[in-house]
Amino acid sequence: MIQVRNLSKTYNGTTVLDIDSLDIQKGESFGLVGNNGAGKTTFFSLLLDLITPTKGTILNGGFEVKITEQWKPFTAAFIDESFLIGYLTPEEYFYFIGELRGMNKSAVQSFLLEYEDFFNGEILNIKKYLRDLSKGNQKKVGIVAAFIGNPQLVILDEPFANLDPTTQIRLKNIIKQKSESKEITMLVSSHDLQHTVEVSTRIVALEKGRIVKDVQTSETTLQELESFFSV
């Protein structure tokens, strides 16, 4: 699904990301972990062509990200609230994304029924603009919008941040359910090692922009990661 080769990003002479080679398979549930400044958000921003690499290439579905937009119809993401349109209500935003994905209003409404528990009565029919929602509720909208239209690749940056424990558990179940279908390639980054291990079949750890661990998740993965980051 994704092939990364000789990828780097440098700001003012400081290299913040340097990945020689990385392949992410179609249908894989891929977790990205690391401390602040490790390069997680930089990597996702490069995947989404939000920033330009200093050198190297990224292929998404066989298309080079920086020279074509042919990967965009099957790719969705939520990085932060800048992905939202603040003057829209949640419903208006969902309908807008649905239209972009070829779904009519009725289809979007049916799709949203699946997320009633996740919304917990705080998103739909509340007559608020997105800009007036809490950070946590903005995140709920952005995450659910990323699943509209059955994308093949979904990228979520720090999806568990700003969510209460009940919502975090519900989100983990959603991600695991989507991943188990093997129809979606799921990329999740998080500071929360436990959550990331629970929703991922593979974990890559970044440190100062470089890959320092790349493992298939097992019963010992969380302990291994905790030991690694405790040093």
pLDDT tens for the chain, 231 residues: list them.
Answer: 999 999 999 998 899 999 999 999 999 999 999 998 899 999 999 999 999 999 999 999 999 999 999 999 999 999 999 999 999 999 999 999 999 999 999 999 999 999 999 999 999 999 899 999 999 999 999 999 999 999 999 999 999 988 999 999 999 999 999 988 878 999 999 888 999 999 999 999 999 999 999 999 998 999 989 988 887
Please report the sign of the dihedral spanned by the C-alpha atoms of residue 32, residue 37, residue 41, residue 44. Answer: negative
| Distance (Å) of CA 147 to CA 13, 57, 70 | 38, 26, 19
Total domains present in the chain: 1
CATH number of the CATH domain containing 34: 3.40.50.300
d(CA 222, CA 210): 20
Q: What is the helix, strand, coil percentage profile of the chain, to 5? A: 40, 25, 35
pTM of the predicted protein model: 0.93
Residue 162 belongs to domain spanning: 2-230
For position 179, what pLDDT does the model report?
87
